[in-house]
Amino acid sequence: MIHALLTGGAAFALALLLGRPTVRLLHERKLGKAISEWAPSTHSVKSGTPTMGGLFIWGTVAIITLFTNIFELRDGVLVFERGSIALPLVVIVTTALIGIWDDMGTLVGGTYQGLSWRLKFGLIGTLSAAVAGTMFWVLDAQSINIPWAGQHQLSYVYLLVAFITVFSTTTAVAVTDGLDGLLGGLAAFAFAAYGVIAFMQGQEFLAVFCFTVVGALLGFLWYNAHPASVFMGDTGALPLGASLATVALMTGHWLLLPIIGVVFVAEAMSDVIQIAYFKTTGGRRLFRRAPLHNHLELLGWSEPQVVMRLYLFGIAGAMVGVALAISV
């Protein structure tokens, strides 16, 4: 655990170092985000804030992981180890590319077209199927860990479960990104919880990866804290969701994701419920505005209040999730 925590600290320091030149470069390249007309009016002042800050989150994770968790120095020679960590890294790279493509369509005065929701869901679905197949046929994973009931094999049902886990988590996490510091903090709590779970299982390499992500997110939050000087964009959000789901599958504790990521579930469900209610009632709305964080703002909560109070739920969910994992 000492190695995992020290690696997380190193990731934090590196993200801090990479953050300032990255933000400056994004600003110089005029990669500022256009604010959606559906966002609360108070968000209009954020227009033009640099986006794609996920670049230095995942740059940090890639550098730290390659030097501390993929290769091992033996007798002065770098030896490839822990090949399974390549899976979350490939997931991160793939979803980051999708995120960059989508973010290019959200820029102020931009001439690029972002992804349609059909294409975006199609790409995420393809990735989800690839992760499910890799987990099942390459890493030989097909189990579920149930608190107080132990581990049980699912056979080919696991493929469907893994697909749903990656697809739903990726989209739910992306929906949560909307307020300064919100997603970065919540994701850090979730990865920390899975880092502890992985360590308890003896998967120290996976614990190191989780705390590397935590450190990188803490470094990102230095620049994303209210008022944010950079947004992570889908470049950061999509890889966060996909890699979190992948980590959950690698621990076998994917059943705990809705608890550890309780705020992600609430945010996604608020969107789903709003759309369903709107269509079935002929245009009426249940929430003032979806997703949930926008509704809370329109109730009169300040942005820092919404973020901090959702943080509390995120921390509580992470603690309960770890406790349930111990009980397996």
Amino acid at 29: R
pLDDT band at 75 (very low <50, low <70, confident <90, very high): low
Residue 191 has pLDDT above 70, yes or no: yes
The pLDDT tens digits for 7-32 are 999 999 999 999 999 999 998 888 87
- For 160, phi then psi, to 5°, come to -70, -40
Residue 38 has pLDDT above 80, yes or no: no
Q: Per mean pLDDT, which range of 102-116, 173-187, 190-204, 225-239 is the poorest?
A: 102-116
- Please tell me the predicted confidence (pLDDT) of residue 281: 87
Mean pLDDT over 250-264 rounds to: 96
Mean pLDDT over 161-177 rounds to: 96
Is the Cβ–Cβ distance between 225 and 270 less than 8 Å? no
From residue 119, give the alpha-carbon distance in Å to each of 52, 107, 115, 123. 20, 19, 6, 6
The two structure tokens encoding residue 184: 């970065």
From residue 68, give the alpha-carbon distance in Å to each of 4, 9, 25, 244. 10, 13, 28, 20
Position with higher pLDDT, 315 vs 34: 315
Vertex 175: Cα angle to 217 and 253 (nearest 5): 65
Q: What count of other Cβ atoms lies within 10 Å of the Cβ of residue 32?
A: 20
